Amino acid sequence: MSEGSKGSLLAFGQVVIGPPGSGKTTYCHGMQEFMGRIGRKVTVVNLDPANEAMPYQCAVDIAELITLPDVMENLKLGPNGGLIYCMEYLEANFDWLQEKLAAFRGHYYLFDCPGQVELYTHHDALKNVFAQLAKWNFRLAAVHLVDSHYCTDPGKFISVLCTSLSTMLHVELPHVNVLSKMDLIEQYGKLGKSLCKRDTWNWAASGVNYLFGASWCFPAAFNLDYYTEVLDLSYLVDHLASDPFFRNYRRLNEKLVEVIEDYSLVSFVPLNVQDKESMRQVMQAVDKANGYSFGDQEHRSLEALMSAAVGADFHFASTLAVQERYVQSQDKAVEEEVMDL
């Protein structure tokens, strides 16, 4: 994997990034098992020096080079500063990484990365590591995991969009944003649900249904595709304006939404790591992003080849199907809210 390697030595893979608790390690474990069943030789590389309990088979572990507890103890740094130091130390020891990866030529790589957001939004250490991998003929795509329950809070969802956009621009890799833990999406609330003071019925011009009764109102008809495709965000700004805390920041929220929509880069793929159809959808999106070409042991069906080449999917599990599986029916939700009121 020298810098002068030819195309025949191309290596493909994913760098799995995202905030803490978004499910990066679980994703790597699930994707390793899923790809193994379809014939890919998968190598998982742990680049998180704080990751001590790894459920997957780890072929390369940064703990052999440096660990976060050692850095914190010897340099008297906190966890955030320690992680940054570890990534800078990895950047200074490319030869170690190159030697470790060389033992798995011909494999598909999954890089399990740390969960510190600063490493992907403005710090350059990991960005430089990815750039060096590209010089070694790695064709990588960034898989950015975000916990799906943030969709239930308009303020948090706008923050997630800003973080995702900043990460896409900074990391400079083909990018697939993933809403993880879809099976738990409504554990902390309903999609689009917020509270505001009203005492009448109203139907928004956007087609978003509002149930007004007693003294509270609930937006009751944001479908999942509104979040995955990042549709007109002005409706979320309107919801935030109904909150006394966010009302004073309406102009700020409008400008943030304007930036997100002007770039028009962010969209999401829903994922439940326990659902093989959901895993297949994410894998195909990543295959399209990094240009993966199938190995000799992988099943070569017309559907699989077309899916990887142009994104065609003849058995497309639509976002609507995902919503029907994991999101409570809006009609039922409205009826329950009426009963509660």
Q: Give the model confidence (pLDDT) of 137-186 as tens digits.
A: 999 999 999 998 888 888 888 999 999 999 999 999 999 999 998 888 76
What pLDDT is attached to residue 195? 40
* pLDDT in the model for residue 188: 60
Sign of CA dihedral 53, 54, 55, 61: negative
pLDDT one-digit tens code per residue, 16-26: 999 998 999 99
Q: Average of pLDDT values for 304-330?
A: 54
- Do 89 and 75 contact (CB within 8 A), yes or no? no
> Please, what is the end-to-end C-alpha distance for the chain in angstroms?
65
The pLDDT of residue 231 is 79
pLDDT at 150: 85
**What pLDDT score was predicted for residue 324?**
61
**Among the listed ranges 76-85, 256-265, 327-336, which one has the minimum average pLDDT value?**
327-336
Residue type, 59: A
Please state whether beta strands 209-213 and 216-219 pair in parallel, antiparallel, or not at all (unpaired). Answer: antiparallel
Per residue in 80-129, pLDDT tens?
999 999 999 999 999 999 999 999 988 999 999 999 999 999 999 999 99
Q: What pLDDT score was predicted for residue 104?
A: 93
The mean-pLDDT minimum among 176-180, 269-273, 322-326 falls in 322-326
Neighbours of 270 (CB within 10 A): 28
Residue 211's pLDDT is: 36
- Specify the pLDDT at position 316: 40
Backbone angle region of 106, left / alpha / beta, with phi > 0 → left and psi within -120 to 50 → alpha: left
In this prediction, residue 9 carries a pLDDT of 79
Q: What pLDDT was estimated at residue 210?
A: 40
Q: Which of 144, 158, 146, 231 is nearest to 194 (CA)?
A: 158
Give the residue with greater pLDDT, 304 vs 184.
184
The percent of residues in the chain predicted with pLDDT above 90, rounded, is 52
Q: Are 193 and 209 in contact (CB under 8 A)?
A: no
pLDDT band at residue 303 under the 50/70/90 scheme:
low
Residue percentage of the chain with pLDDT more than 70: 72
What are the tens digits of pLDDT across the range 24-77? Answer: 999 999 999 999 998 899 999 999 999 888 899 999 999 999 999 999 999 999
Model confidence band, residue 297 (pLDDT cutoffs 50, 70, 90) = very low
Nearest of 147, 231, 139, 141 to residue 182 by alpha carbon: 147
Nearest to 128 by CA among 66, 68, 49, 47: 47
Per-residue pLDDT at 229: 85
**Other Cβ atoms within 10 Å of 269 Cβ, number:** 20
Is 50 exceeded by the pLDDT of residue 314?
no
Mean pLDDT value across residues 273-302 = 78
Rounded Cα distance, 9 and 4, in Å: 10
Q: What is the mean pLDDT of the chain?
A: 80
Alpha helices in the chain (DSSP H): 24-37, 68-75, 79-91, 94-102, 118-121, 125-135, 154-171, 224-228, 234-241, 244-247, 250-263, 276-290, 302-310, 319-326, 330-340
Closest CA to 219 of 253, 196, 250, 243: 196
**pLDDT at 304 (0 to 100):** 56
CA distance 114 to 164: 16
- Give the confidence band of 241 by pLDDT, cuts at 50, 70, 90: confident
3-state secondary structure of 325: helix
CA distance 209 to 201: 10
Position 236 scores a pLDDT of 83
Query: Which pLDDT value is given to residue 219?
Result: 41
